[in-house]
Structure formats: structure tokens, C-alpha cells
Amino acid sequence: MKRLGQAQLKVLEAIASGTGYGFDIMDQTALASGSVYPALAKLEKSGLLRSRWESAVVARRDKRPPRRYYEITAAGHDAIADALAEARSLARSLARTVKESS
């Protein structure tokens, strides 16, 4: 499976923690909209996210268009776990290198 970029990983993590709307994800990750939205589109296309629309009833009651809500899939959770494992192995090897060279 393709490795996830930094931005995609951050976005995925924010959604896993329960932040589901685009602009909220921007706030939480401190990424610009030009990074967040392409990441969302790519993640959804590769099946790590799915999206649904906020209830039309609620939106109509508030007199505004419905918002799109993203949530993580099982594959998305796996991808986070993979990324974590990879980061750990990288951290271990880095630690070893630092110890050997000091």
C-alpha cells in the first residue's frame, strides 16, 4: 500500500480523533486549506475515509447548506497503525545510530 504523506497522516489522525468537518480539521492540524482538501480527496479515494452529509433537517432548521462530515474507515485505522509501526522502527534505528556514534 502507498505510503501516506505528512499532510495526509495528520488529516487522518485528526479525523480519527473525532474531528469531521473540513474547516475544523484545518484548525486542529494547522494545515492550510490547500493541503487539507486535496488530502481529504485522496484519502477518500483510497478508501481510508468515507464521507456523509449532515442531516438535511438540521441544516434547514439553521437555514444553511448541509456540511460534509468525514469519518475514518477500518482501512484508515490500519493505515494509522502501519504508520505508527513504521515510525517506531525508524525511531529505534535512529536511537541506535545516535548511541553508536556518541
Please choose, out of 8-16, 62-70, 75-83, 88-96, the segment that lies near another protein by the rule CB under 8 A. Answer: 62-70
**Is 54 one of the binding residues for another protein (CB under 8 A)?**
yes
> Using the rule CB under 8 A, which residue among 18, 41, 60, 85 binds another protein?
41
Alpha-carbon distance values, 98 to 20, 88, 89, 93 (Å): 39, 15, 14, 9
Which class for 50: exposed (0-12), middle (13-18), buried (19 or more C-beta within 10 A)?
middle
Residue 43 contacts another protein per CB under 8 A: no
Per DSSP, the three-state class of 18 is coil
Q: Interface with another protein by CB under 8 A: which residues?
A: 21-23, 26, 32-38, 40-42, 45, 53-54, 59, 64-68
